[in-house]
Amino acid sequence: MKKVLVTGADGFIGSHLVETLVRAGMEVRALCQYNSFSSWGWLDRSEFAGQFEVVLGDVRDPAQMRHVTKGVDTVFHLAALIAIPYSYQAPSSYVDTNVGGTLNLLQGALDNGVERFIQTSTSEVYGTARFVPISEEHPLQAQSPYSASKIGSDAMAYSFHASFDMPVVIARPFNTYGPRQSARAVIPTVITQLLSGKRALKLGALSPTRDFNFVQDTCDGFLALATSQGCVGQTVNIGSGTEISIGDTVELIAKIVGVDVEIECDEQRLRPAASEVERLCCDNRLIKSLTGFQPRFSLEDGLRATIDWLRVPDNLSRYKADIFNV
């Protein structure tokens, strides 16, 4: 890799990936969603500002995606609508962005001879685990409009490999957390409520289990997949291989912060019963065998780093602990 494109670069994982690639010596073009404020999202505050190129745009525009993929040899496609609760309210927008946007980027990459296309999937496409750990052969179960749109975008990416011999890798990260994550996710929801002085936490379901991964481990997994020749045409999980319930995660966070908490069930935070993914635990043997990738951060170490980042008043002020972020 010499020159790379990261879509969704203004977001949580995307901004960390841009910085990881810059540190690795790559020439990075960062696609951030167009807005009238000229905001680069989380990249506005990046210590590497000036060391990467920023383009404001929208993956839903095919002409622009043809333009933005010119001159790059690797594409990391992270741009997507990702909030599951909002997908119940606006499902067509998920199809437009996640499926249509992926198609536009694939076509542009194909036309411009991109040498590697990393499609970002999600463990949500597996639905509730039928067996654990969840390998790449696990059936796909669209238990939310969001997961259905990601199944569609993954299938579109694979079709370009099968139809046009395009060098596609489908990276399937499990639950990523860390600094900059939206409060729509449970870990920043818990931390921001605690650091704002709340001791009665408003949460949804506590019994589901998740395979939580610190954001730097996820970015390292992306980089490993982009530089391994054996990954082309494959779907590869990125995860720790461990699981923990939401309830136990809350207790661990409270222990690190050093407070006692009570939990109140907030009905609006509950998914419809058949839509809840009850269990996720990654089988990461494939990525290890193909790339030698090994997660470096324990859950407690990653939580401590996230809590320390949110303790900075300027960072915490960007969150609204009193509002359920759909």
What does pTM read for this prediction?
0.96
Residue 249: both structure tokens together: 């995660």
Domains of the chain listed by start with CATH number? 3-176+213-238 (3.40.50.720), 182-210+242-280+298-316 (3.90.25.10)
Please give the distance of CA 168 from its chain centroid, rounded to a whole number.
18
Q: What's residue 245's pLDDT? A: 96
Q: What's residue 164's pLDDT? A: 98
Q: What's residue 166's pLDDT? A: 98
Q: What angle do CA 220, 78, 292 make, to 5 degrees?
A: 25
pLDDT by position in tens, the chain (length 326): 799 999 999 999 999 999 999 999 999 999 999 999 999 999 999 999 999 999 999 999 999 999 999 999 999 999 999 999 999 999 999 999 999 999 999 999 999 999 999 999 999 999 999 999 999 999 999 999 999 999 999 999 999 999 999 999 999 999 999 999 998 889 999 999 999 998 888 888 888 999 999 999 999 999 999 999 899 999 999 999 999 999 999 999 999 999 998 888 777 777 888 889 999 999 999 999 999 999 999 999 999 999 999 999 999 999 988 777 77
Q: What's residue 122's pLDDT? A: 98
Residue 195: both structure tokens together: 């650091």
- Read off the amino acid at residue 11: G
Tell me whether residue 176 is exposed, middle or buried, using C-beta atoms within 10 angstroms of its C-beta: 0 to 12, 13 to 18, 19 or more. Answer: buried
